[in-house]
Amino acid sequence: MIFFLMALLLHIDIVSTAIDSQYCSEKVTIVHIVVCLKQVPDTTEVKIDRKTNTLIREGVPSIANPFDLNAVEAALVLKEKYGATVTVISMGPPQAKEALRRAIAMGADQAILLSDRSFAGADTLATSYTLAQAILKLQDAGGVDLVLCGKQAIDGDTAQVGPGIATRLNLTQLTYVSKIESVDADGKHITVERKLENGVEIVRGNLPALLTVVKEIYKPRYASLPCLIESLAYEPVVWNAKQISADSSQIGLEGSPTWVETIFSPPLREGGVILNPGDENYDKEFSGLIDTVKKIVAEERSKLVCS
Amino acid sequence: MTPIEIAEKLCTLCQVCVKKCPFDALSMQDGKIVVNEKCTACGICVRTCPEKAMSLRNLPKKAIAKDLKDYKGVWVFIEHSDCKIASVSFELLGEGRKLADKLGVELSAVLLGDATERMAAESASYGADTVLVMNDPLLKNYRTQPYLAGIVQLVQKYKPEIFLFGATTMGRDLAGAVATKLRTGLTADCTALDIEEQTKFLKQTRPAFGGNIMATILTKNHRPQMATVRPRVMKAPLKDAGKKAAIINETIVVSAELLPTMIVDFILQAEQNAPLEDAQIIVSGGKGMGSAKNFDMLHAFASAIGGTVAGSRKASEAGWISAAMQVGQTGHTVRPRIYFACGISGAIQHVVGMQTSDIIIAINKDPHAPIFSVANYGIVGDVLNIIPQMTKIFNEGSGNNESH
């Protein structure tokens, strides 16, 4: 009961902040930005046990997904420009609060953790449903103009949750954004640069919109020491499945159409010849190597001539 | 209800599962193992539990099993810009052909655009039995909304069982939206596809966890089974210009006023070299190069052999090479015929981006550098001496007898 009341109070607080800023700031074009953030294992620290060919996860820290921090930074830049409120949301267990605090230390206004055992086992479809339900609740409370996500999470690398949220909430979908050029004065359009394989596309889209951002957009700022210390005491609001009116058939394992059938270690490439300048065979092996390269170089050159 | 069932009678609280879970989804609380929201139902805990106390919970298949049979055929989304079909689409037609043959069904190319005639014929020559075409000025350049509307319209009418997209910015942008609209499963960035013999499910294999593990994913109760596929992993089939396909024209139902985006401009990247992904010879430098200036020797070597210069994340972060030319998990995946790894230690995040190269030649001072375990040729030595030596050999032209 107490928890419920607390949640209710905090909820009202969120609503009022969003509305306050609408009236406080002179020329408001963007009022409320929601950033989706995931806590992930730092996959760059993962090692493989070559004997058993399994992951060694011990000692691998949990971090805020790096691309999501680029999104937080983009939100903060817009906040500085337009006086918007920045809300950071994450789906995860209680320990994911740590990642949310990182965003608070950077300058986000509030953080919400979507935490419920029934969210476990979610694939991207169920995850986008869960996050969309929370954003819907924020929309009902006072509107959301912009949702920002990192382009993908480094543990799953799917890049599917952003488009999933946009599709569910009918937000204008703008992925791989490398620059936010401008927001129209009437707050109805946003112009962004999208980084594609062969160039940069400049797109103007209706608001509200969902952007997924690439790392080139902004480098995440370092939190100042006072902000960092203050953030340690910050308690994110926690919403469970019921509080976001989640349909139990669309969350967690049950809401996930994909099944992990097997997991295995990637087949290792066989190592080849090692050439050591000290060895007696070195010269012979080196010229063998050069011959191999020459053959391919010649083949590639002849291709160029033909085309 | 959590995805993992734990038989408390069998569980000895040894916590092997807690240690083995890659996602940090298990912990011990109040004398019990509990599963949290990070669980992806990957089943590693189930397989590693020494007591066999864990199992994946079987959910009621309340879905649509009877409707699954209505879905037939393999579809490939044809990605194009400037009337040029992306090479990944040809690769997918090749792979789609194999899957369609295993299932005994048709392979269809799905082509949305404006003035698509020549591209439709080209799709046929790469193996499509049918080309589903939506021609409309609104579809001239890719935009999420009209393409989403068009694709959903086609899927609902023709019901394919498998639908493949390239794992490119366009393919990922579109497939993520389509799968959500259709409420079906989508597997990202697959590197292998196959058909499970008995069930006929599409086996979708992909790297996860920064390339540290591979997972095979199934979409059992939903259709179509959707996947994006990593470019340059599958081989494009040979073109058969004589092959014809049935062309089916459909009209898109969407109104221009409702479209939420407008393309203002497109700026083609002014990279001097060919795009990294298409390069057949890559000379890549890492931390061991030591400085931006030392990268000059890589450029000299690359120009001697007609290669493209790239770099590791460390090199890109140090500013020795542009981020656009970074190879690895957070950069590009490349598949050249020769990949020179110069002063690159070979962290897994780098290796996942280049391990499908035909020949890897590594030069590193450290004989224990992990790069040597993936290299076809490993030269233990100072890259700053060896690269100029090789450059000289190639600049001299013949080079069979001069160096030793």
Number of CB pairs < 8 Å for A and B? 332
Outline where B353-400 has alpha helix (H). 383-395
Element (H, E) at A81: helix A66-82
What is the predicted pLDDT for the residue at B3? 84
Cβ atoms < 10 Å from Cβ of B84: 10
Farthest-apart Cα atoms in chain A, separation: 81
Contact list, B376 vs chain A (CB under 8 Å) = 272-273
- B180 and B225: one domain? yes
CB contact under 8 A, A263 and B43: yes
Closest alpha carbon to B182 in A122, A164, A132, A244? A164
Judged on CB neighbours under 10 Å (0-12, 13-18, 19+), B72 is middle
Burial of B280 (0-12, 13-18, 19+ CB in 10 A): buried
Nearest to A55 among B212, B323, B404 (CB): B212
CA B97 – CA B126 distance, rounded (Å): 9
| Cβ proximity of B331 and B355 under 8 Å | no
Q: Give the per-residue pLDDT at A9.
A: 45
A183 strand-pairing partners: A190
Specify the pLDDT at position B324: 83
Which residue numbers in chain A have pLDDT < 50?
1, 3-26, 306-307
Rounded CA gap, A176 and A97, in Å? 27
Are the C-beta atoms of residues A50 and A15 closer than 8 Å to each other?
no
CATH of the domain at B78: 3.40.50.620
From the list A123, A203, A260, the residue facing B263 with the nearest CB is: A203
Q: How far is CA B190 from CA A123, B144, B308, in A?
A: 15, 22, 26
Running DSSP on this structure, what letter comes out for residue A250? G
Residues 6+ apart with CB under 8 A from B387: B297, B298, B301, B342, B363
B239: nearest Cα among B354, B344, B87, B30: B87
Q: Is B403 domain-assigned? A: no
Specify the number of domains making up chain B: 3
Is B6's Cβ below 8 Å from some Cβ in A?
no
Distance from CA of B117 to the nearest CA of A (A): 24
Sheet holding B225-229, edge to edge: B186-190, B225-229, B162-166, B74-77, B107-113, B130-135, B246-250
Q: Are A237 and A10 in contact (CB under 8 A)?
A: yes
- As for the ipTM of the complex, it is 0.84
Cα distances (angstroms) measured from residue A268 to each of A41, B18, B187: 23, 26, 23
The reply to whether B43 and B97 lie within a common domain is: no
B231 and B152 part of one domain: yes
Same domain, B46 and B71: no
Give the CATH number for residue B388: 3.40.50.1220
- Determine the 3-state secondary structure of B186 from DSSP: strand
Residues B126, B101: one domain? yes
Q: pTM higher than 0.90 for the full model?
A: no
Parent domain of B202 = 65-256
Secondary structure class of B197 (helix, strand, coil): coil
A198–B269 CB contact, under 8 Å: yes
Residues B73 and B49 occupy one common structural domain: no
The answer to whether residue B332 sits within a structural domain is yes
Using a CB–CB cutoff of 8 Å, tell me whether B179 touches chain A.
yes
* B267 contacts in chain A (CB < 8 Å): 199-202
Q: Is residue B51 part of a domain?
A: yes
- Structure tokens of B255? 């109104």
Together in a domain, B123 and B212? yes
Q: Give residue B254's pLDDT.
A: 84
With beta carbons under 8 A apart, name residues in chain B contacting A156.
40, 188, 208
Q: CB of B75 within 8 A of CB of B44?
A: no
Closest approach of B2 to chain A, Cα-based (Å): 6
Q: How far is CA A23 from the centre of its chain?
A: 31
Asked if residue B18 belongs to a domain, the reply is: yes
Same structural domain, B285 and B196: no
Asked if residue B402 belongs to a domain, the reply is no
Q: Which of B79, B137, B81, B140 is nearest to B268 (CA)?
A: B81
For residue A239, the Cα-to-chain-centroid distance in whole angstroms is: 20
Task: Match 């590197």 to its residue by tokens.
Answer: B191
Nearest to A43 among B210, B360, B367 (CB): B210
Answer whether B50 touches A (CB < 8 Å).
no
Q: Which of B57, B143, B218 sits opposite A261 (nearest CB)?
A: B218
For residue A278, what are its two tokens?
């000290």
Give the span between the Cα atoms of B78 and B159, in whole angstroms: 17
- The backbone torsions φ and ψ at residue B260, rounded to the nearest 5 degrees and listed phi first, read -85, -10
> Would you say how long chain B is, in residues?
404
- Taking an 8 Å cut-off on Cβ atoms, the answer to whether A287 and B19 are in contact is no
For residue B127, CA distances in Å to B74, B112, B168, B247 come to 12, 18, 21, 13
Name the DSSP class of B67.
G
Per-residue pLDDT of chain B (404 residues; tens, 9 = 90+): 678 889 989 999 999 999 888 888 999 999 999 999 999 888 889 888 999 999 887 765 555 556 888 999 999 999 999 889 999 999 999 999 999 999 999 999 999 999 899 999 999 999 999 999 999 999 999 999 999 999 999 999 999 999 999 999 999 999 999 999 999 999 999 999 999 999 999 999 998 877 778 899 999 999 999 999 998 888 899 999 999 999 999 999 888 877 888 888 888 775 544 578 778 999 999 999 999 999 999 999 999 999 999 999 999 999 999 888 999 877 888 889 999 999 999 988 898 889 888 899 999 999 999 999 899 999 999 999 999 999 999 998 644 444 44
Phi, psi of B343 (to 5 degrees): 65, 30
Are residues B201 and B100 part of one domain? yes
Instruction: Look at the block and give the residue holding tokens 């062309």.
Output: B247
Query: Which residues neighbour A194 within 8 Å (Cβ) at sequence distance 6 or greater?
Result: A174, A175, A176, A177, A178, A200, A201, A202, A203, B169
Q: Each residue of A226-245: pLDDT tens digit?
A: 999 999 999 999 999 999 99
Query: How many alpha carbons lie under 13 Å from residue A82 in its C-beta half-sphere?
Result: 24
Distance of CA A238 to the CA centre of its chain: 20
Could B377 and A205 be called an inter-chain contact, meaning their C-beta atoms sit closer than 8 Å? no
**Contact check, Cβ <8 Å, A203/B262:** yes
Contact B309, B298 (CB under 8 A): yes
Is B90 a member of any domain?
yes
Give A269's contacts (C-beta < 8 A, 6+ positions apart). B355, B360, B373, B374
B375's CB contacts (< 8 A; 6+ apart) are A271, A272, B341, B360, B361, B362
Which site among A293, A295, A299 would you substitute to test the B interface, given the most B Cβ atoms closer than 10 Å to its Cβ? A293
Chain A contact for B359 (CB, 8 A cutoff): yes
Q: Are strands A189-196 and A62-64 parallel, antiparallel or unpaired?
A: unpaired
B55 to chain A, any CB pair closer than 8 A? The answer is: no
B367: its two tokens: 């004989």
> B227 and B285 share a domain?
no
pLDDT for A92 equals 95
Same domain, B12 and B79: no
Asked if residue B228 and residue B203 are part of one domain, the reply reads: yes
Q: What integer pLDDT is reported at residue A51 of this predicted model?
A: 65
CB contact under 8 A, A260 and B215: yes
Domain boundaries, chain A: 2-250, 269-307
Closest in B23, B216, B261 to A262, CB measured: B216
Give the B window 71-100 contacts with A, CB below 8 Å.
81
Whole-number Å distance between alpha carbons of A211 and A217: 11
Contacts of B383 (CB under 8 A, 6+ apart): B285, B288, B289, B342, B343, B363, B364, B365
Q: Does B186 touch chain A (CB under 8 A)?
A: yes
Indicate which of B1, B33, B34, B37 best probes the interface with A, i.e. most A CBs within 10 Å of its own CB: B37
* Chain B residues lying within 8 Å of A196, measured CB to CB: 169-170
In A143-233, alpha helices (H): 161-169, 225-232
| Residue A151 with chain B: CB contacts under 8 Å | none
CA atoms within 13 Å, Cβ hemisphere of B199: 12
Residue of B nearest to A113 (CA): B37
* Residue A259 to residue B41, Cβ atoms within 8 A: yes
| pLDDT for the residue numbered A7 | 46
Any idea which fold A2-250 has? Rossmann fold (3.40.50)
**CB atoms closer than 10 angstroms to residue B264:** 13
Does a structural domain hold residue B115? yes
Q: How many Å lie between the alpha carbon of A33 and the closest alpha carbon of chain B?
A: 19
